Structure 1
């Protein structure tokens, strides 16, 4: 039958609560993996660190520092081709978030020189607000 408005509102808020809980759990999992990754990195266990970062990023896709750390791990492993456009883009974004403007300018210059075909994308990505969880877009 037709759901009345109150029942619908209850469903909606349950839904929002569920999404919030899911996101909280994902963040906790990601934080645990990130801690493991950092420890592995310090012990120079870069393969393990990379695996932890990859899994952490699956849980939380909007943490620019994690992409930055993963890029660094790839560099340590000599996976230079992997720390390519996307990694550099996130690293540049991370400098912006951290307000490290000298590094930001340097990284931006390098991005434009190395990937001139992606100029518009670079500009768009660096200027847009923080990457949002898909879930958040409805509530904005």
Structure 2
């Protein structure tokens, strides 16, 4: 048998309320952190989110660079450089053409005075500046013919026909004249065949040139 004590004289009962409150407070602290703790947690989280906090002896956060931006910038720089170089080449070409034209005029003047050697040299100087002008090679070929250097004339004519203009009228005619002067009838006839083929609308001029050539060669 045990005796039932009166609640008013039971000391443990007197402490019940305080113990309940203590337990309740403890449970609350486990479920919901205090404001001071919450602030500390938020502060720590915010700090951890900053780049400065993501840095230690073994790790450092850096900003990522966009490779496409660099490629675009490099492409623009390259294209700009190409444009500049093209512009510079165009200006240089114009200057060389101006110089070549002056030499050509001097060559024409010497040729009219029958100074064929001087004329040849002037055309050669022009070619040094502009190497893709058919008229310069053709004029020089005619000078070689006048100087009796027929094989060298054929070289200039061949360069025009093979590299610059395969249908060039004067190149075919001067080539025919050079072969005729060398008594090379097969190559002469071949030249006449092609010049007639490529310039069928100028047969009258071609025939007149051939008649005059036969009278002088």
Q: TM-score range by the shorter chain?
A: 0.5 to 0.7
The 2-side partners of 1:55 and 1:9 are apart by 35
CA contact (8 A) 1:30 1:56 kept: yes
- The alignment's TM-score, normalised by the length of structure 2, stands at 0.42
CA RMSD of aligned residues (A): 3.5
The 2-side partners of 1:76 and 1:22 are apart by 34
> Per-residue deviation at 1:88?
3.2
CA contact (8 A) 1:68 1:90 kept: no
Mapped pair 1:64 → 2:134? yes
| Structure 1 partner of 2:80 | 10
Pair 1:48–1:8, CA change in 2 (3 A): same
The 2-side partners of 1:112 and 1:13 are apart by 52
Pair 1:51–1:18, CA change in 2 (3 A): same
- The alignment's TM-score, normalised by the length of structure 1, stands at 0.62
Q: Which has the higher contact order (CA 8 A, sep 6+)?
A: 1
The 1-side partners of 2:139 and 2:90 are apart by 26
Q: Which structure's CA Rg is the greater one?
A: 2
CA contact (8 A) 2:160 2:168 kept: no
Query: Which secondary structure state, in structure 2, belongs to the residue aligned with residue 41 of structure 1?
Result: helix
Q: How many residues align?
A: 109
| Structure 2 partner of 1:44 | 114
Mapped pair 1:74 → 2:144? yes
